[in-house]
Chain A
Amino acid sequence: MNLSKLIKPFLASALLTVGLAGCGAATDNSSEGQKPAEQPKKAENQMVNVYTARHYEADEEVYKKFTEETGIKVNVVKGEAEELIERLKREGESTQADLFITVDGGVLANAKNNDILQPVKSDVINKNVPANLRDKDNNWIGMSTRARVIVYSKDRVNPNELSTYEALTDEKWKGKVLARSSTSLYNQSLLASFIELNGEEKAEQWAQGIVNNFARQPDGGDRDQAKAIAAGTGDVAIMNTYYVGLLVNSEDPEEKKVGESIGVFFPNQETNGTHVNISGIGLTKHSKNPENATKLIEYMTGVDAQEFLSAHNYEFAVNPEAKKPEILQSWGDFKMQELNFDTLGKHNHKAIEIFNKTEWK
Chain B
Amino acid sequence: MGIHQVKRFFQKDFNSWWIISMVGAAVILLPILFVFLSLFQEPNQNWFQIRQYLLKTYVANTIILVLLTGIFTAFLGVTLAWLTAAYDFPLKRFFRWGLLLPLAIPPYIAAYTYRTMFSYTGVIQSTFRNHFDYQINPELLSISSLRGAIFIFTLFLFPYVYIMTRAFLVSQSSSFFENARLLGRKPLAIFVRVVLPLSRPAIVAGAVLVVYEVLSDYGVTSYFGIHTISTAIFQTWFGMYDIDSAMRLAAWLMVIIVGLFFLERLLRQGRRYNVNNKSRPLMPMKLKGVKAVAAFMYCGIVFLLGFLIPLIQLIAWAKLTFHKVWNESFFTLFFQTVYVAAISTVLILILAVVVANVSRNHSMGSFVLAKLTTTGYSIPGAIIAIGVLAVFITLDKWLAPFYSYMGWGDAPLILSLSLVMLIVGYAIRFMATGFNAVEVGFEKIGTKYSEASRVLGLGMTKTFFKVDLPLIKGALISGFILTFVEICKELPLALLLRPFNFDTLATKTFQYAKDEMIYEASISSLMIIGISVLAVVVFQVIDKKVER
Residues of A in contact with B (beta carbons under 8 Å apart): 5, 8-10, 12-13, 16-17, 19-20, 23-24, 26-28, 30-32, 34-41, 49, 55-56, 75-80, 82-84, 86-87, 90-92, 94-96, 110, 181, 183, 185, 188, 216, 218-224, 227-228, 230-233, 243, 246, 250-252, 254-255, 257-258, 288, 345, 348-349, 352-353, 356, 361
Whether, in the assembled complex, B459 has its beta carbon less than 8 Å from a beta carbon of chain A, the answer is yes
Bound complex: CA A231 to CA B142 (Å): 13
Q: Which of B87-95, B175-183, B273-281, B413-421 contacts A (4 or more CB under 8 A)?
A: B413-421
Bound complex: CA A20 to CA B243 (Å): 33
Bound complex: CA A255 to CA B240 (Å): 34
Tell me which residues from 484 to 503 in chain B have a Cβ below 8 Å from any Cβ of chain A.
495-496, 498-503
Bound complex: CA A218 to CA B354 (Å): 50
**Which A residues are in CB contact (< 8 Å) with B321?**
251
A26, A37, A361 interface centre (most CB from chain B within 10 Å): A37
B238/A185 in contact, CB under 8 A: yes
Residue of A nearest to B403 (CB): A38
Task: Identify which of B121, B144, B400 contacts A227 (C-beta below 8 A).
Answer: B121
Also in contact, A220 and B239, with CB within 8 A (given A90-B390, A251-B320):
no
B19, B139, B417 interface centre (most CB from chain A within 10 Å): B417
Task: Identify which of B225, B324, B500 contacts A49 (C-beta below 8 A).
Answer: B500
Excluding A12-B16, A39-B409, 5 further A-B contacts by CB distance (< 8 Å) are A5-B459, A28-B419, A77-B498, A80-B382, A87-B389
B241/A348 in contact, CB under 8 A: yes
B144/A94 in contact, CB under 8 A: no
A82/B240 in contact, CB under 8 A: no
Bound complex: CA A283 to CA B386 (Å): 23
Tell me which residues from 323 to 342 in chain B have a Cβ below 8 Å from any Cβ of chain A.
324, 340
A20/B519 in contact, CB under 8 A: no
Also in contact, A27 and B419, with CB within 8 A (given A34-B501, A35-B500):
yes
Whether, in the assembled complex, B516 has its beta carbon less than 8 Å from a beta carbon of chain A, the answer is yes
**Which A residues are in CB contact (< 8 Å) with B502?**
31, 34, 77
Bound complex: CA A82 to CA B343 (Å): 29
Determine how close the nearest CB of chain A comes to the CB of B431; give it in whole angstroms: 14
Whether, in the assembled complex, B120 has its beta carbon less than 8 Å from a beta carbon of chain A, the answer is yes
Whether, in the assembled complex, B385 has its beta carbon less than 8 Å from a beta carbon of chain A, the answer is yes
Also in contact, A82 and B409, with CB within 8 A (given A227-B119, A233-B138):
no
Determine how close the nearest CB of chain A comes to the CB of B164; give it in whole angstroms: 27
Whether, in the assembled complex, B393 has its beta carbon less than 8 Å from a beta carbon of chain A, the answer is yes
Task: Identify which of B121, B135, B459 contacts A9 (C-beta below 8 A).
Answer: B459
Determine how close the nearest CB of chain B comes to the CB of A248; give it in whole angstroms: 13
Residue of B nearest to A249 (CB): B324
Whether, in the assembled complex, B192 has its beta carbon less than 8 Å from a beta carbon of chain A, the answer is no
A13/B393 in contact, CB under 8 A: no
A13/B16 in contact, CB under 8 A: yes
Interface membership of chain B positions 415-434, coded 1 if the CB is closer than 8 angstroms to chain A and 0 otherwise: 11111100100000000000
Task: Identify which of A35, A94, A232, A356 contacts B53 (C-beta below 8 A).
Answer: A356
B144/A252 in contact, CB under 8 A: no
Interface membership of chain B positions 507-534, coded 1 if the CB is closer than 8 angstroms to chain A and 0 otherwise: 1001100111101000000000000000
Determine how close the nearest CB of chain B comes to the CB of A253; give it in whole angstroms: 9
**Which B residues are in CB contact (< 8 Å) with A258?**
120-121
A38/B411 in contact, CB under 8 A: yes
Task: Identify which of B142, B241, B415, B417 contacts A37 (C-beta below 8 A).
Answer: B417
Bound complex: CA A40 to CA B393 (Å): 18
B409/A40 in contact, CB under 8 A: yes
Task: Identify which of B239, B324, B389, B417 contacts A188 (C-beta below 8 A).
Answer: B239
B519/A38 in contact, CB under 8 A: no
**Which A residues are in CB contact (< 8 Å) with B53?**
356
Tell me which residues from 372 to 390 in chain B have a Cβ below 8 Å from any Cβ of chain A.
382, 385-386, 389-390
Whether, in the assembled complex, B447 has its beta carbon less than 8 Å from a beta carbon of chain A, the answer is no
A38/B409 in contact, CB under 8 A: yes
Whether, in the assembled complex, B200 has its beta carbon less than 8 Å from a beta carbon of chain A, the answer is no
Bound complex: CA A41 to CA B340 (Å): 29
Task: Identify which of B119, B347, B415, B499 contacts A20 (C-beta below 8 A).
Answer: B347
Also in contact, A55 and B514, with CB within 8 A (given A17-B20, A251-B519, A252-B519):
yes
A9/B495 in contact, CB under 8 A: no
Task: Identify which of A80, A92, A218 contacts B225 (C-beta below 8 A).
Answer: A218
Also in contact, A231 and B390, with CB within 8 A (given A24-B420, A55-B514):
no
Also in contact, A16 and B350, with CB within 8 A (given A5-B459, A251-B321):
yes
B420/A28 in contact, CB under 8 A: yes
A82/B459 in contact, CB under 8 A: no
Also in contact, A10 and B16, with CB within 8 A (given A223-B516, A231-B120):
yes
B516/A231 in contact, CB under 8 A: no
Tell me which residues from 303 to 357 in chain B have a Cβ below 8 Å from any Cβ of chain A.
320-321, 324, 340, 343, 346-347, 350, 354
Whether, in the assembled complex, B412 has its beta carbon less than 8 Å from a beta carbon of chain A, the answer is yes
**Which A residues are in CB contact (< 8 Å) with B235?**
183, 352
B423/A227 in contact, CB under 8 A: no
Bound complex: CA A80 to CA B516 (Å): 15
B350/A228 in contact, CB under 8 A: no
Task: Identify which of B231, B343, B400 contacts A23 (C-beta below 8 A).
Answer: B343
Residue of B nearest to A30 (CB): B419
Residue of B nearest to A13 (CB): B16
A40/B240 in contact, CB under 8 A: no
**8 closest cross-chain pairs (CB), A and B:** A13-B16, A9-B16, A254-B121, A55-B511, A75-B500, A227-B120, A251-B320, A231-B120
**Which B residues are in CB contact (< 8 Å) with A35?**
417-418, 499-501
